[in-house]
């Protein structure tokens, strides 16, 4: 199994990678911090990974995406699966006051995904097999007053992936959308923890299974499917008055 | 901690004492600048909170949660050396090394402890008479001090800080990663013998005879038995093996059962414990049984019930573990067992073991040659505390000491008498680091 992980230093992505490593997978890991990438590499190596190739890139540099994908194919020969996992949780208050902050958050959480998916789709469509997984979020299921910049970006990723799934299913390629709920990772370090928080290991294991099976849309943990189902049912005229 | 490793509360395992509000700072990466100096108030590393009392608590200060530091760094299978970050648990390590024919050099009675925690309490296991403490198998580690300095510590490099940090209760700095020596074993099963003994004298006979032939030895004692039954119990001993036939149900252990909520405090009372102990003792019909078992139920019987400590209800419970020098007359152990059985305060779990004479590497390490007894007491206020104070005096009079990892209440005076080297140790403490335990046992000084 040859796997590319974009945003490989994410706590959730690393947990998924550990599962693949135990199967002896080979990795092409992309992140922006070489020290963190090296720490992930050594861990996967001990856990049984085959070759692990590292690539340092700030993904907001969209102009580099084409070269990135080419480098991955050069190094690996072929790719069986890709997991796109990077992301930031923007400060909503700051984004409201600052267009640039909003657009940057949108770039990191949506445009980079759209760019990478577009580049990868062609390759996977030709190879007629494999799996492309993206980490979206339950936050993308409905715009909330307190978090709509992040939510809108994640929603864009979900919609884009949904369309891409329809296109690539004809080529036998799976597109997997992962929608985690609250996960206890560096991204949520500043939030107060409640019982709905899951561990990155729980979500990572779920991603592994979803990718092997080529599932479509996966809520992780599973109960979020029902929570979000109810939340989507609330009429907008009521929803807009809730402070969520 | 829940089964999937997600933490909900930063308490100690005994859930007593409760301390005032603590801030929590997770430590995510071993290379990041942590800038500990900028945190307000004292800091203390926190592993999985499997210590019972307040040695892993820092009331009014900040806990450095090391659980995200869970990455392996290297496994040299030629030399049997494993390097990993400080928050890696013994469970993680076993999952990695057991299928490759290795085992931990020694292990406490739960695998849900971190490497950092195992070093900071210099923990011991059922093979202490052979392997000594966990710290004996630590070849080096990296220590982060609050001034930002990072020190590699080993028996040769920064040797004083190495000795101070092993058994150093988390006070000398933050261990970022460590390298340990693992052990090749015959197999991940234990050829186990269980022997019923009717008295404490019988225990010592079996123990002396067993230590030469068995890697692992320990005993369960019925603390409520009195008179001629005083100190009766079951002796367990075993060696690693690879059985000719794999026992059934040997597959990957799962936790059977999670204690969902706290039971009311009366669930464990004198009558229930007495009945349990008596039944457990009699459950073994023949004097001696042989069985080959997977390593998990042998080393970690309590891990099968996640959150078992909730059995004790809201008031929490106290552990009490001491070691007294091995004396021919065995009066200390007998005195203490008598005190307990007469007190009417119940101890559910009582584990007895003879420590060997392999020296402990840490300045403040607890294990030393002698007999150790570990007890659990549900917290029943003053009555429990008074009994433990009486036990302290017996332990002290016999030249014994208490285990800080399990203590929530010993007096400053007794701590300082048990560990007179504490002043020398204190010179190695990082000035930014402190714990509720340390403040309790050193706030007043006693000569
Ligand atoms: C069921 C059960 C059975 C047990 N059996 C045994 C036994 O047989 N033998 C035995 O010796 N003990 C035993 N213990 C006690 C347990 O092994 C120790 O308390 C152990 O140290 C707990 O590790 P932890 O990772 O939970 O650390 P914590 O309890 O969270 O912390 C323990 C200490 O380690 C320090 N620490 C943690 N991480 C670091 C770090 N990275 N750098 C520096 N300091 C650090 C903390 O500050 C604290 O002082 C048992 C406990 C339980 C619950
Ligand atoms: N945690 C949650 O509650 C939650 C819930 C739903 C969805 N998600 C999603 O899950 C995914 C993984 O997040 P996580 O929770 O695992 O948090 P995380 O550990 O903080 O991971 C986020 C990763 O994204 C990387 N990253 C951010 N911007 C980047 C950029 N411009 N270029 C390269 N890398 C960049 C970060 O790199 P650095 O470490 O170098 O900063 C970090 O490794 C994200 O897409 C997130 O939105 C998380």
pLDDT of residue B257: 47
For residue B429, the ligand closest to its alpha carbon is: 1
Cis peptide before A221 (omega within 30 of 0): yes
In a 10 Å sphere around its CB, with 0-12 CB exposed, 13-18 middle and 19+ buried, how is residue A193 labelled?
middle
Tell me the domain boundaries of chain A.
Answer: 2-239
Task: List, for residues B4-36, the tens digit of each pLDDT value.
Answer: 334 457 888 888 888 888 899 999 999 988 899
Fold of B189-405: Alpha-Beta Plaits (3.30.70)
**Among A151-160, B298-307, B309-318, B354-363, the least confident range:** B309-318
Tell me the average pLDDT across B46-61.
Answer: 95
In the structure, which protein residues have their CB atom closer than 6 angstroms to any atom of ligand 1? B 13, 44-51, 55-56, 66, 86, 108-110, 113-114, 116-118, 120-121, 123-125, 169-170, 174-175, 302, 405, 435
In sequence order, the β-bridge partners of residue B258 are: B306
Return the half-sphere exposure (C-beta side, CA atoms, 13 A cut-off) of residue B50.
Answer: 24
Q: Among the ranges B53-67, B220-234, B240-254, which has the highest mean pLDDT value?
A: B53-67
Q: Above 50 in pLDDT, residue B254?
A: no
Query: Token pair of B118, please?
Result: 């195992």
Task: Read off the pLDDT of each residue in B259-279 and give the average, rounded to a whole number.
Answer: 58
Structure tokens at A168: 């690539």
Tokens of B229: 């039954």
Q: Give every residue of chain A whose pLDDT is below 50, as ranges.
A: none
Å from CA of A10 to ligand 2 middle = 5
SS3 B81: strand
In this complex, is the C-beta atom of B8 within 8 Å of any C-beta atom belonging to chain A? yes
Q: Do A197 and B73 touch (CB under 8 A)?
A: no
**Residue B411 CA neighbour count, 13 Å, CB half:** 14
Give pLDDT tens digits for B141-199.
Answer: 999 999 999 999 999 999 999 999 999 999 999 999 999 999 999 999 999 999 999 99
**Residue B138 pLDDT class (50, 70, 90 cuts):** very high
For residue B86 the two structure tokens come to 């400080």
Reported confidence tier of residue B256, pLDDT bands at 50, 70, 90:
very low
Q: What angle do CA B404, B405, B409 make, to 5 degrees?
A: 55
B313: left (phi over 0), alpha (psi -120 to 50) or beta: left
| Three-state secondary structure string covering chain A | CEEEEECCCCHHHHHHHHHHHHCCCEEEEEECCHHHHHHHHHHHHHCCCCCEEEEECCCCCHHHHHHHHHHHHHHHCCCCEEEECCCCCCCHHHHHHCHHHHHHHHHHHHHHHHHHHHHHHHHHHHHCCCEEEEECCHHHHCCCCCCHHHHHHHHHHHHHHHHHHHHHHCCCCEEEEEEECCECCHHHCCCCCCCCCECHHHHHHHHHHHHHHCCCEEEECCCHHHHHHHHHHCCHHHHCCCCC
Centroid of ligand 1 to alpha carbon of B49 (angstroms): 7
DSSP string, B246-300: PPTT-SS----EE--SPPPGGGS-HHHHHHHHHHHHHH--SSEEEEEEEHHHHH-
The pLDDT of residue B85? 98
Residue B247: per-residue pLDDT? 59
| Contacts of B126 by beta carbon, 8 Å cutoff, 6+ apart | B216, B217, B218, B236, B299, B353
Reported confidence tier of residue B116, pLDDT bands at 50, 70, 90: very high
Contact B345, B384 (CB under 8 A): yes
How far, in Å, CA of A40 to CA of B172, rounded? 28
pLDDT band at B306 (very low <50, low <70, confident <90, very high): low
* DSSP sequence for B165-190: HTT-TT-S-EEEEEEEE-EE-S-SEE
Provide the residue ranges of all domains of chain B, joining segments of one domain with +: 189-405
3-state secondary structure of B405: helix
The CA B51 to ligand 1 mean position distance, Å, reads 5
Dihedral sign for Cα atoms in the order A29, A34, A40, A44: positive
Residue B260 has pLDDT above 60, yes or no: no
Instruction: Check residue B252 and give its pLDDT.
Output: 43
* Whole-angstrom distance, CA of residue B312 vs CA of residue B267: 8
- The pLDDT, as a whole number, for residue B249 is 53
Specify the pLDDT at position B8. Answer: 54
> What residue spans of B32-112 are helical by DSSP H?
90-97
Radius of gyration of chain B (CA): 21
CATH class of A2-239: alpha beta
Q: What is the pLDDT of residue B269?
A: 60
Asked if B234 and B291 count as a contact pair (C-beta separation under 8 A), the reply is: no
Q: Residue B78 class from Cβ within 10 Å (0-12 exposed, 13-18 middle, 19+ buried)?
A: exposed
Is residue B347 very low, low, confident or very high in pLDDT (cuts 50, 70, 90)? confident
Instruction: Identify the H or E element spanning B422.
Output: helix B422-426
Q: Which residues 350-389 on chain B approach chain A with CB closer than 8 angstroms?
A: none
Query: Averaged over B263-268, what is the pLDDT?
Result: 50
Burial B202-236 (b: 16+ CB within 10 A, else e): bbbebbeebbeebbbbbbbbbbbbeeeebbbbbbb
Residues of chain B above pLDDT 90, percent: 68
Q: Which token pair is B200?
A: 């404490």
* Nearest ligand 1 atom, CA B122: 11
Mean pLDDT of B71-94: 97
Residues of A in contact with B6 (CB under 8 A): 184, 197-199, 202
CB contact under 8 A, B6 and A199: yes
The model's confidence at residue B243, banded by pLDDT at 50, 70 and 90, is confident
Radius of gyration from C-alpha coordinates of chain A: 17
Least confident range of B75-79, B260-264, B321-325, B433-437: B260-264
ipTM of the complex: 0.95
pTM, two decimal places? 0.94
| More confident of the two residues A209 and B384 | A209
Residues near A32 by beta carbon (within 8 Å), at least 6 away in sequence: A9, A56, A57, A58, A59
Q: How far apart are CA B42 and CA B173, in angstroms?
A: 12
pLDDT of the residue at A136: 98
* Residues in a beta bridge with B143: B151, B175
Task: Give yes or no for a contact between A87 and A188, defined as CB atoms under 8 angstroms apart.
Answer: no
Residue with the bigger pLDDT between A196 and B277: it is A196
Work out the percent of chain B whose per-residue pLDDT is above 70: 89
Does residue B436 contact residue B63 with C-beta atoms inside 8 Å?
Answer: no
Q: What is the pLDDT of residues A151-184, one digit of tens each?
A: 999 999 999 999 999 999 999 999 999 999 999 9
Question: Tokens at residue B35, please?
Answer: 């800038």
Higher pLDDT, A192 or B121: B121
Enter the tokens of residue B345: 């305060």
Q: How confident is the model at residue B285 (pLDDT cuts 50, 70, 90)?
A: low
- pLDDT of B324 over the 70 cut: yes
Contacts of B4 in chain A (CB under 8 A): 198-199, 201-202
Q: Which of residues 42-71 of A touch B (CB under 8 A)?
A: 42-43, 46-47
């Amino acid at each position: 199994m040859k796997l590319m992980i974009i945003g490989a230093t994410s706590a959730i992505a690393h947990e998924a990678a550990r599962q693949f490593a135990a199967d002896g997978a080979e990795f092409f890991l992309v992140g922006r911090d070489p020290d963190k990438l090296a720490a992930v590499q050594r861990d996967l190596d001990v856990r049984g990974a085959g070759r692990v190739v590292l690539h340092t890139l700030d993904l907001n540099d969209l102009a580099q995406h084409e070269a990135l994908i080419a480098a991955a194919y050069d190094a690996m020969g072929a790719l069986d699966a890709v997991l796109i996992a990077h992301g930031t949780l923007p400060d909503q208050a700051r984004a409201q006051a600052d267009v640039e902050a909003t657009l940057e958050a949108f770039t990191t959480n949506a445009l980079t995904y759209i760019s990478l998916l577009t580049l990868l789709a062609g390759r996977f469509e030709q190879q007629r097999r494999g799996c492309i997984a993206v980490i979206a979020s339950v936050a993308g299921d409905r715009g909330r007053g307190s978090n709509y910049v992040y939510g809108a970006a994640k929603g864009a990723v979900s919609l884009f992936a949904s369309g891409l799934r329809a296109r690539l299913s004809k080529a036998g390629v799976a597109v997997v959308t992962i929608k985690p709920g609250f996960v206890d990772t560096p991204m949520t370090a500043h939030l107060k923890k409640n019982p709905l928080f899951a561990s990155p290991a729980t979500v990572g294991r779920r991603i592994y299974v979803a990718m092997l099976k080529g599932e479509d849309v996966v809520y992780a943990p599973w109960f979020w499917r029902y929570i979000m189902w109810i939340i989507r049912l609330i009429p907008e005229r009521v929803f807009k008055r809730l402070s969520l | 901690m829940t089964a999937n490793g997600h933490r909900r509360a930063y308490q100690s395992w005994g859930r007593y004492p409760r301390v005032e509000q603590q801030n929590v700072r997770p430590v995510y990466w071993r290379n990041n600048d942590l800038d500990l100096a900028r945190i307000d108030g004292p800091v203390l590393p926190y592993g999985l909170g499997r210590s019972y009392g307040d040695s892993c608590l820092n009331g009014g200060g900040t806990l450095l949660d090391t659980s995200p530091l869970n990455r392996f760094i290297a496994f040299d299978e030629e030399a049997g050396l494993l390097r990993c970050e400080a928050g890696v648990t013994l469970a993680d390590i076993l999952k990695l090394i057991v299928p490759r024919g290795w085992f931990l050099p020694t292990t406490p009675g739960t695998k849900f402890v971190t490497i950092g925690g195992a070093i900071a309490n210099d923990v011991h296991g059922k093979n202490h008479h052979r392997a000594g403490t966990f710290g004996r198998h630590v070849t080096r580690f990296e220590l982060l001090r609050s001034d930002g300095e990072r020190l590699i510590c080993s028996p040769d490099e920064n040797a004083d800080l190495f000795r101070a940090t092993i058994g150093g209760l988390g006070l000398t700095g933050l261990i970022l990663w460590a390298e340990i020596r693992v052990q090749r074993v015959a197999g991940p099963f234990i050829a186990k013998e269980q022997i019923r003994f009717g008295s404490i004298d019988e225990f010592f006979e079996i123990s002396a005879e067993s230590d030469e032939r068995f890697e692992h030895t320990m005993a369960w004692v019925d603390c409520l038995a009195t008179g001629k039954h005083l100190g009766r119990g079951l002796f367990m001993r075993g060696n690693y093996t690879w059985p000719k036939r794999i026992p059934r149900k040997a597959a990957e252990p799962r936790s059977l059962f999670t204690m969902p909520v706290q039971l009311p405090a009366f669930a464990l009372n004198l009558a229930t414990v007495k009945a349990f102990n008596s039944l457990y003792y009699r459950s073994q019909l023949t004097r001696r049984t042989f069985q080959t078992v997977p390593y998990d139920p042998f080393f970690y019987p309590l891990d099968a019930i996640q959150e078992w400590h909730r059995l004790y209800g809201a008031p929490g419970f106290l552990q009490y573990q001491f070691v007294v020098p091995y004396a021919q007359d065995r009066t200390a152990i007998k005195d203490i067992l008598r005190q307990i059985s007469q007190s009417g305060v119940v101890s559910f779990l009582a584990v007895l073991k003879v420590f060997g004479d392999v020296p402990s590497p840490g300045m403040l390490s607890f294990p030393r040659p002698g007999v150790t007894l570990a007890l659990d007491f549900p917290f029943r206020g003053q009555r429990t505390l008074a009994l433990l104070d009486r036990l302290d005096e017996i332990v002290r009079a016999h030249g014994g000491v208490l285990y800080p990892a399990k203590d929530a209440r010993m007096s400053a005076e007794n701590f300082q008498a048990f560990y007179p080297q504490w002043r020398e140790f204190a010179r190695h403490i990082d000035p930014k680091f402190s714990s509720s335990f340390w403040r309790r046992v050193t706030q007043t000084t006693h000569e």
